Amino acid sequence: MRLVPGWRLDGARAGFRTASGHVELLSKLPAGSAIRPHVPALAARRDAQLSPAEQELARYVQVLLPAGVRKAAVRTVLEGLDCVEEVIEPPEVGLP
């Protein structure tokens, strides 16, 4: 998913942060879920240290769900958060 500009992953608090607030996410997800940055090296750096292109990449995070969880229900939760700009689902992979 892509975060609204100004929001960043806050791995220490299992959610997202901005200069003016914080959204806790992990408690809103099914047990066994995880939140990971798309580019871990950028997540560890402060905004002031990032170029504009790196700031854009730092907005992307992955929400990993345990097997058997209904993605539609989780998508609804994610889309309801002020910090989320877009929820992007991975393609379905399988044999014909």
Position 70, amino acid: R
Position 23, amino acid: V
pLDDT at 79 > cutoff 90? yes
Position 43, amino acid: A
Q: What is the pLDDT of residue 95?
A: 83
Range 42-78 burial, b when 16+ CB lie within 10 A, else e: bbeeeeeeeeeeebeebbbbebeeeeeeeeeebeeeb
pLDDT digits (tens, 9 = 90+) for 40-66: 998 888 888 999 999 999 999 999 999
pLDDT digits (tens, 9 = 90+) for 12-47: 667 888 878 788 888 888 999 988 999 999 888 888
